[in-house]
A and B are shown apart, each in its own frame.
Chain A
């Protein structure tokens, strides 16, 4: 059990400069594409033009004849030299390699990789690679892919269903039978993603004298070095991933295993450093970076007061051509399947279906935002059916503050919360309903949107054994190591990459708090993977909890070492000593300063306690609080901590043009003890912008007739710009988690988890007086206008 540090804090929660800002704002970032190695070669993939086809033959002779072209690697060649990429689901016959082998399964899939002296030359050469295809029938729609007789994406698997799990938690049928009211509805969440400005980039170099593969990659990926080593049939200690590369955005998608295996193989085979930097088209069509695409069918059983007693939810996720980790995105939301509501029983049917589309990858929230959208839509529908205020229905269904810790039907215990408190605090900011009515009086369509939802945080692997019994991973540790040099400087190491979440600030503040030394004096480094302790990377809104926890634990060990040294030197018990800002004070007034203690540890061995090793260093490999257990009876504790956000927004639009404008965006946010206020604020603002995209603009659309992607660049895949993102008013509440070192919870997904639901709710409120509603994202102007006009097909 973690011993929690209590406020008041010196540095935690204080507004301070984010230490990474200077580097990034002044152009001092060091990205994978900035690396230039002597003799480096460049890649360009040959991409499939068909959604499904047999590869009959590949003729690379004309490409290889171009001066400066070094290789054209085919899928068959790579497969012979490597192991398949790992699957998340238990689908051994869904085999995936970085390049298509024998058959292509989506338009844009990488078929061969051209390697040349320059990227431009590689692009010239790839046009000369002749691939002979024999087209096969294909299916791109998830529901159609489940129908008997649909074209099989992986014939050996025997079906397009990659995951089909049915969970029953609590007396579902009983509650449905007893409930006086029921409703059923369907919502659709279109394929979108996080779309970082930096595409995926990786450079690899094989050091033949040491038998080590060096990798510099733009990644956010658990167990990245292990997976490369396994696939390339190398020992784990023959892959050295350089974590000090800055990552230009990720929020889930920078997985890059296929890219790194490919480039690692090429670097080794060619004896030259090889770099692959995707261009936008390659990234969007074949970079395997698209997020969930879901159809939810939901039934709610509720009473005349608007209390929801039970829910049945079927979530069908079109995961695309390969399994990867994407089916797990149906599993994580199980840990908050009832949201902030005291729903007593749940039936959940999770279906991951393969189709001839780009494979799905992890996206911010790991499936939680779509699930929240589905649930919030239902709460609004209950209010509408009863003619009740949507705020009131939420008040009636919220878990009450005194009920925490609160066990939900699917086996997760929520750590803490005060949902009613934050709702009231947020709605007190403004009467958006009055503002809405004033806009309506001007002839505009106007609506208020409300969404209340959880951010499960402290990412753990519990969904893996829950969805795949072959997988028994219950340990998702994070680590930190602190070293004090002979001059007294403190250096803390984290052991993974960072993709904009300000982990250096986090570690420095956490260590500073324990050591009582200003964060500016603590250097934070990211050594390479061979010099690192175990990490599971910054996924699952976990680092404030996990890396923060590891940093505090390591600092506490270091502090204990200092006290032990001082106790021995002063001839008193450590219990009689007081630590203060690096110095150790005895009750009788004697003291040892930080510098004196450093000198003893590094130089004056005769003053050290017997048996104590010289030097000052400590580390912690921190286990997820509440983690470690295998599921029982289809239930599991998913993540340890549960942040809460309450969105309260006002949207207006013209009756005919229907381009929604967000007039007010108020969000109540409670992530427990805030560590770095500016970082949390940035996360929330970015998350809301991301949600605006998912709700209104972004879709990786596909032409159903041809199977071709129709949004493959920023011409057609529309990210919200500064014009579309409104000012956001943030209301804070602090409900500390009992499970973490400072009482903190996660905030890396904040804003995004509820903004699509809130925007959808606001638009439906605007449409409601006109008798129409829409339950699919993104809500494009023409769709809304056509519905109002009664002409939507």
Chain B
């Protein structure tokens, strides 16, 4: 498990990283390295150059404004976990981040790395999809639903790089969130996961409900729900393609997705009521 030879270079600015990427189609960006390093070690990827973006100033910032919450690509997962501002402004992400790997991997793993990798089981991508986040890149900003195309495949243009994730802030009188997943072991890739946010506006209007599914489907999906009921969730899941692997077939994933969606919904409702 020694990587094939490659050149390691450390970018000082986003512009520099972008230039290097544009100049060499075989170059790869490394952020926290939690996926790339094992792939390099097993020689599953053989980049000519590995561009480290960890030293780029400002890429690890968390910014909370009136309208948005923006996380730089190099924000470590542990920083999300520990951020009081995010617990307030983006409680669903704070909740979901504890399901990402384990404490040692969260110390290294980043927001941008997870988004760019587009693993179907990734919790961060599921939250981005559920809350309608935008993926910021050096080329353009993409709505999450336009960014994740297939397992490990995104709309990121060649030569471009993910720079961050921007969530809309929704004013709420009361907010409840729920997150649930099932994996072979705690911290493993989810066989199915569900994320839910329930928002009550100040004027007593119809509550806004967002319920997303990950792990089970090739990319995370925001469910189109007619009502916050089990039947409605089942109906929304029915047309979705489910993945299968030796651990879990499509049937299991569909049932688990439904059960977890109801768990997440239930948790969010309990929070709103509390």
Chain A residues near B (Cβ < 8 Å)? 119-120, 123-124, 279-281, 654, 656-657, 659, 697, 701, 710, 713, 715-716, 718, 720-721, 723-724, 780-782, 785-786, 789, 791
15 cross-chain CB contacts under 8 A: A119-B2, A280-B1, A281-B42, A657-B182, A697-B184, A697-B185, A701-B246, A718-B184, A724-B185, A780-B247, A781-B182, A781-B191, A782-B248, A782-B252, A786-B251
Which residues of the other chain, A, contact B188 by a CB distance below 8 angstroms?
A: 718
- Flag whether B152 is at the interface (Cβ < 8 A): no
Contact A123 B185 (CB under 8 A): no
Q: Is the interface of B mostly helix, strand, loop or mixed?
A: loop
Query: By the criterion CB–CB under 8 Å, are B246 and A710 in contact?
Result: yes
If A120-B2, A791-B251 touch, whether A780 touches B184 (CB-CB below 8 Å) is yes
- Complex-state Cα separation, A659 to B248, whole angstroms: 12
| Cα–Cα distance between A659 and B190 once the two chains are bound (Å) | 12
Other than the given A657-B182, A724-B186, A785-B256, 9 more pairs (CB < 8 A) read: A120-B5, A281-B42, A656-B256, A659-B182, A718-B184, A721-B185, A723-B187, A782-B252, A789-B251
Interface residues in B216-274 (C-beta closer than 8 Å to A):
246-249, 251-252, 255-256, 258-260
- Given the complex of chains A and B, what is the CA–CA distance between A535 and B185 in angstroms? 40
**In the complex, which residues of chain A have a beta carbon less than 8 angstroms from the beta carbon of B182?**
657, 659, 781
A69 to B161, CA, bound (A): 39
User: In the bound complex, do residue A721 and residue B186 qualify as a contact, i.e. CB atoms below 8 Å apart?
Assistant: yes
Partner among A124, A656, A701 whose Cβ is within 8 Å of the Cβ of B255: A656
**Chain B residue nearest in CB terms to A719:** B185
Neighbouring A residues of B251 by C-beta, 8 Å: 786, 789, 791
Chain B positions 149 through 193: 1 when the CB is less than 8 Å from some CB of chain A, otherwise 0: 000000000000000000000000000000000101111100100
CB neighbours (8 Å) of A786 from chain B are 249, 251-252
Shortest B66–chain A CB gap in Å is: 40
| Beta-carbon nearest neighbor of B183 in chain A | A659
Q: Least Cβ distance of A705 to chain B in Å?
A: 13
> Which 4 pairs, one residue from A and one from B, show the smallest C-beta to C-beta distance?
A120-B2, A723-B186, A782-B252, A782-B248
* In the assembled complex, B57 has its CB within 8 A of some CB on chain A: no
Which residues of A have CB within 8 Å of B2?
119-120, 123
Q: Which of these, A124, A280, A713, A718, contacts B185 with CB under 8 Å?
A: A718
Distance of A701 Cα from B247 Cα, bound (Å): 11
Residues of B contacting A721 with CB < 8 Å? 185-187
B9 lies within 8 A of chain A by Cβ: no
Closest residue to A701 on the B side, CB-wise? B246
What chain A residues lie within 8 Å of B186 (beta carbons)? 721, 723-724
Which chain A residues border B185 with CB–CB below 8 Å? Answer: 697, 718, 720-721, 723-724
The smallest C-beta distance from B187 to any residue of chain A, in angstroms, reads: 7
Residue B4 at the A interface, CB < 8 A?
yes
Q: How far is the CB of A321 from chain B (nearest CB, A)?
A: 22
Contact present for B1 and A781 (CB under 8 Å)? no
Beta-carbon contacts under 8 Å, B33-71 to A = 38, 42-43
Q: Is B184 touching A656 in the complex (CB atoms < 8 A)?
A: no
Beyond A659-B182, A789-B255, whether A782 also contacts B5 by CB under 8 A is no
Q: Inside 8 A of B42's CB, which chain A residues have their CB? A: 281, 713
**A contact residues around B247 at 8 Å (CB):** 780-782
- Complex alpha-carbon distance, A120 and B248, angstroms: 36
With A and B bound together, what is the CA distance between A721 and B258 in angstroms? Answer: 27
State in angstroms the CA–CA spacing of A279 and B3 once bound together. 13
A721 CA to B103 CA in the complex, in Å? Answer: 13
**Given B3, B246, B259, which contacts A654 in the complex, CB threshold below 8 Å?**
B259
| Residue of chain B at shortest CB distance from A793 | B249
Measured in the bound complex, the distance between the Cα atoms of B5 and A339 in whole Å is 56
* B interface list, Cβ under 8 A from A: 1-5, 38, 42-43, 182, 184-188, 191, 246-249, 251-252, 255-256, 258-260
Q: What residue in chain B is nearest A788 (Cβ atoms)?
A: B255
Complex contact A782–B187 (CB within 8 A): no
Report the separation of the CA atoms of residues A281 and B260 in the bound assembly, to the nearest whole angstrom.
34
- Shortest beta-carbon distance, B2 to chain A, in Å? 4
Instruction: List the A side residues contacting B3 at CB < 8 Å.
Output: 120
In the assembled complex, which residues on chain A have CB atoms less than 8 Å from the CB atom of B187? 721, 723
* Chain B: CB-nearest residue to A780: B247
Q: Which residue of B lies closest to A713 (CB)?
A: B42
Q: Say how far B77's CB is from chain A's closest CB, in angstroms.
A: 18
Q: Are A657 and B259 in contact (CB under 8 A)?
A: yes
B5, B184, B191, B260: the one contacting A124 at CB < 8 Å is B5
A723-B186, A781-B182 known; A657+B246 contact, CB < 8 A: no
Give A721's nearest chain B residue, CB to CB: B185
Inside 8 A of A782's CB, which chain B residues have their CB? 191, 247-249, 252
CB-based nearest A residue for B251: A791
Smallest CB separation, A287 vs chain B (Å): 14
Asked if A780 contacts B256 (CB within 8 A), the reply is no
> Closest residue of chain A to B4, judged by CB?
A124
Question: How far is it, in angstroms, between the C-alpha of A789 and the C-alpha of B5 when the chains are bound?
Answer: 50
Bound Cα distance from A654 to B255, whole angstroms: 12
Contact A781 B255 (CB under 8 A): no
A123 proximity list for chain B (CB < 8 A): 2, 43
Chain A residues with Cβ under 8 A from B259's Cβ? Answer: 654, 656-657
Chain B residues lying within 8 Å of A713, measured Cβ to Cβ, are 42
Shortest CB-to-CB span from A711 to chain B, Å, is 8
Instruction: Choose among B4, B43, B249, B256 the residue that contacts A657 (Cβ–Cβ < 8 A).
Output: B256
For the complex, give the distance between the alpha carbons of A791 and B251 in Å. Answer: 8
CB distance from A320 to the nearest CB of B (A): 20
A659, B252: Cα distance in complex, Å: 12
Closest to B252 in A: A782
Measured in the bound complex, the distance between the Cα atoms of B187 and A611 in whole Å is: 70
Q: What chain B residues lie within 8 Å of A701 (beta carbons)?
A: 246
Q: In the complex, what distance in Å separates the CA atom of A724 from the CA atom of B251? A: 25
How far is A94 from B43 in the complex, measured between Cα atoms in Å?
Answer: 35
A100 → chain B closest CB, angstroms: 22
> What's the nearest-Cβ distance from chain A to residue B249, in Å?
6
Q: For B38, list chain A residues within 8 Å (CB).
A: 715
Q: Which residues of A contact B1 (CB under 8 A)?
A: 279-281
Residues of A within 8 A of B184 (CB): 659, 697, 718, 780-781
Q: Whose C-beta in chain B lies nearest to the C-beta of A42?
A: B2
Q: A697 to chain B: which residues have CB within 8 Å?
A: 184-185
A120 to chain B, nearest CB (A): 4
Chain A nearest CB from B186 CB (Å) reads 4
Residue from B1, B188, B251 whose CB has the most chain A CB atoms within 10 Å = B1
- A722 closest partner in B (C-beta): B186
Q: Give, as a whole number of angstroms, the nearest-CB distance from B237 to chain A.
A: 13
Q: Quick one: which of A715, A720, A724, A781 contacts B248, CB cutoff 8 A?
A: A781
Residues of A contacting B246 in the complex (Cβ-Cβ under 8 angstroms): 701, 710, 716
Alpha-carbon distance A646/B187, docked complex (angstroms)? 31
CA–CA, A120 and B41, complex, Å? 10
Closest to B259 in A: A656
Q: Which residues of B contact A657 (CB under 8 A)?
A: 182, 256, 259-260
A652, B246: Cα distance in complex, Å = 23
Name A785's contact: one of B5, B43, B255 (CB within 8 Å).
B255
Nearest A residue (CB) for B189:
A715
Chain B residue at smallest Cβ distance from A123: B2
Report chain A residues within 8 Å CB of B43.
123
- Residues of B close to A789: CB separation below 8 A: 251, 255
Complex Cα spacing A654 to B38, Å: 34
For residue B87, give the distance in angstroms from its CB to the closest CB of chain A: 23
Q: In the complex the two chains form, what is the Cα distance from A780 to B245 in whole Å?
A: 12
Most buried by A among B3, B43, B187, B249: B249
Q: In whole angstroms, what is the CA distance A715 to B248 when docked?
A: 15
Per the bound structure, the CA–CA distance linking A718 and B246 in Å amounts to 13
Min C-beta distance of A22 to chain B, whole Å: 25
CB distance from A60 to the nearest CB of B (A): 19
Residues of chain B contacted by A785 (CB below 8 angstroms): 252, 255-256
How many angstroms from the CA of A786 to the CA of B248 in the assembled complex? 9
Centre residue among A721, A782, A786 by max chain B CB count within 10 A: A782
Q: Which residues of B contact A715 (CB under 8 A)?
A: 38
Which residues of B lie under 8 Å from residue A710 when comparing CB positions? 246
For A791, the closest partner residue in chain B by CB is B251
Within 8 Å CB of A720, what residues of B?
A: 185
